[in-house]
Chains A and B, each alone.
Chain A
Amino acid sequence: MESIDLTVVWALIIGFAVFAYVVMDGFDLGIGILFPTLKVGEERDQAMNSIAPVWDGNETWLVLGGGGLMAAFPLAYAIILPATYPLMIAMLLGLIFRGVAFEFRWRDPRHRAFWDLAFTAGSVVAALSQGIALGAILQGIRVREGAYAGGWLDWLSPFSLLTGVALLTGYAALGAAWLNWKTEGGAQSHARRMVHLLVPAMIAMLIAVSAATPFLNYDYWRRWFDVPGVLLTAQVPLLVAICAFVLLRSLAAGAERLPFLMLLALFLLCFIGLGISIFPYAVPRSVTIWAAAAPPRSQSFMLAGAVFIIPIILAYTGWAYWVFRGKVGTHGYH
């Protein structure tokens, strides 16, 4: 038992929470991004209904990611949030509009067009902020004496804008694939076309980000291209290619669930790729997870609960998805 490194375990748990958030709220936000392209009425209602029962649970992973980071790696939390301050504020405000739109569009049919717009604007702002923040963290944060030492626009760079657009595209693809699975009729065929457009766009973005990352810092370069590590890291792009191929083939064959699952696999591969670049840093190139870690007593106290509670959370979340399984239905209740 001595050999288990609590800090690594917590890095994995928080990584898992962030990944769960990215894919689960990813398709919610993606639907928000695609919302203006859906026809007013049945198509939009179907899209909204397909996520109404689950979006709140999906968003909770973001709170676990943030709260968990504060608890397990307080120093990283205290550096990253001030460093990405305007992005975090924009994300939170975007999530407010996105979140209230779920209820308000039904409460106020006269202003439904407005709340639909708020739903989209909120989703786009949240997705862009998250993507830009990712780029900002990857490109490095100026730290002095354990505190953020940069200005309030340090996060802005061509690279971070690229990751912003990349994540936006990825979320939109996820949203489209979800709609292809959960809807029927016009909404579904529209979603199918969108997946066809968005997946190649997402792969192109992915290639651009992957190509740029090793040039940000020589460490990233070594991480990916040094022998013998390259034999292992080379598997990631290979698997990405296979997943993308299966995804588009299955879509063409009329599959409904497989394209979505393949997109999840693509996101997982990207996430593993990020892990390869970042580990073992909590704030890339300045603070390692061990330097940022809370004392073992904090980490072990949380772990004692997490090992039981997280599986239970996954179980009842799975149950909630199961209750609302299948097509959301074309013949909306009138």
Chain B
Amino acid sequence: MLEHLDAVVLARVQFAFTVSFHFVFPAFSIGLASYLMVLEALWLRTGRGVYANLFRYWLKIFSVVFGMGVVSGVVMSYQFGTNWSVFSEKAGPVIGPLMAYEVMTAFFLEAGFLGVMLFGMNKVGKGLHFLATCMVALGTLISATWILAANSWMQTPAGHLLTEQGQFVPGPSWWAIIFTASFPYRLVHTVIAAYLTTALAVGAVGAWHLLRDRANPGARKMFSMAMWMAAIVAPIQVLVGDAHGLNTLEHQPAKILAIEGHYEPSPEGASLILFGLPDSQAARVDYAVEVPKLGSLILKHDPNAALPGLSDFPREDWPPVAIVFWSFRIMVGLGFAMLGLGLWSLFARWRGGLYDWRWLHRAALVMGPAGFVAVIAGWITTEVGRQPFTVYGLLRTAESHSPLAAPAVATSLIAFVVVYFFAFGAGIYYLLRLMAKPPQPDETEPPPQPQRAAGITPAPATASMER
């Protein structure tokens, strides 16, 4: 029994590790693909060299990010079977088709047009090249849609039937399976998060180069575009996040109560615990700093509304409270910092200091990784908050794993950790090196490469862009 438990814990750690690492890359490539599409559109419309140069600059970064997203993503599609075979067998008829649609409508679209996008600039016309960029960007969004539909079904399952063998099979309507209660909120919240993450990363790169050379047109342009994005999207994300939270309270109340640290019910309105140390053994939050009534005001939009507590639920259904309590606060804290940065940039823009205020640039630089941290923290909140179930309320995590011995899972976990830190560590280092290079110091585009009848040499072509 103990051995089984260990294998489950190891399999969970393995999934958490591989998916967290993976998620960083699509969160960036979803945003970057759309950004590249906008840059290319602006270039085609205005003919200004600065857009072409920025397009080339971010394309190199995109290709490294995308490559890492692909290889870490292939791992995910097999993790279900290797470590979670019982889950796959039981839920496969319902979420399998959603993932199959993701492959057919998104992965092939991205991969099919990526080659042309990266290497085909001089092989096809501008229009076709732009089409390829659009298809890649569209592919990233379609991919997010399907995978979040699958994830949302695991969070708020609906539209299925349960067989006598405990297998989930589709009910009469696929619509009900795809559009589950949490799906619209989750999709919007996640895609906005990807855009915000990208805006902050682009903004940080712009800020870095502005701190060195305030006149660089590429740095100015990318910083300005990124700050517009942050200023517009961060407030929207706060509202969407609030709506997502209300939705979660309705469908997964135990998750919200764990996030809030409310072990006991609050019949006269719940406080908001800002900080504290949750202790699930004793079912209380030590050293809590709280604001009375604010919890109910946020969750019910009424300061006196009653809220249940975790003690209203069986203890074996509680998610790990401390993890979601903290991961949620990290996400929200960073979210408000992003909002602050966006507002500051608007103020600077209004006062004509966008390109000159050194402290704004420093702040934007520091906030560069904030999106990635917030995205991972948010993902941890929603996934750990789903525990102890894989299919919420219906299939327990402890009953979902493969019939594997703990040493096998432990060995593969170590292999993943070593390989990921090494391979993706190197990749992140290369990304930082690419970002450290300033964009073209002027608006002149590099001369288009001579078109040779005998084909092209794609990789040196991108390598040549470095110069």
Contact = CB atoms under 8 A, between A and B. Distances in A.
Contacts of A193: none
Most buried by B among A71, A146, A326, A327: A71
A60 B68 contact: no
A211 B452 CA distance: 50
A66 B111 CA distance: 17
A100 B81 contact: no
B108 A57 contact: yes
B220 to A, nearest CB: 26
A183 B81 CA distance: 39
B97 A298 contact: yes
Interface residues of B, number: 83
Chain A interface mostly = helix
A67 B103 contact: yes
Interface residues of A, number: 78
A305 to B, nearest CB: 6
B67 A99 contact: yes
Contacts of B426: 100, 104, 108
Given A67-B96, A317-B112, A328-B455, A89 B415 contact: yes
B72 interface: yes
Contacts of A332: 457, 460
B64 A298 contact: no
B408 A86 contact: yes
A75 B88 CA distance: 8
A246 interface: no
Given A99-B67, A298-B94, A52 B458 contact: yes
A18 interface: no
A94 B434 CA distance: 26
Contact of A85 (B90, B116, B404): B404
Interface string A114-155: 000000000000000000000000000000001111011000
A106 B460 CA distance: 8
Contacts of A325: 455
Interface stretch (B118-126, B226-234, B272-280): B118-126
Chain B interface mostly = helix
Interface string A288-305: 000000110110011001
B104 A313 contact: yes
Contacts of B70: 56, 59, 99
Contact of A316 (B113, B408, B461): B113
B212 interface: no
Given A57-B108, A82-B403, A152-B408, A70 B92 contact: yes
Given A88-B81, A103-B430, A310-B104, 20 more contacts: A49-B460, A77-B89, A78-B92, A82-B85, A88-B78, A95-B74, A96-B75, A103-B64, A108-B430, A146-B89, A147-B86, A152-B404, A302-B97, A316-B112, A323-B116, A324-B120, A324-B123, A324-B458, A329-B457, A333-B449
Q: Which 3 pairs between the two chains have the least Cβ-Cβ distance?
A: A74-B92, A71-B96, A53-B115
Interface of A: 45-46, 48-49, 52-54, 56-57, 59-60, 62-64, 66-72, 74-75, 77-82, 85-86, 88-89, 92-93, 95-97, 99-100, 102-104, 106-108, 146-149, 151-152, 294-295, 297-298, 301-302, 305-306, 309-310, 313, 316-317, 319-320, 323-329, 331-334
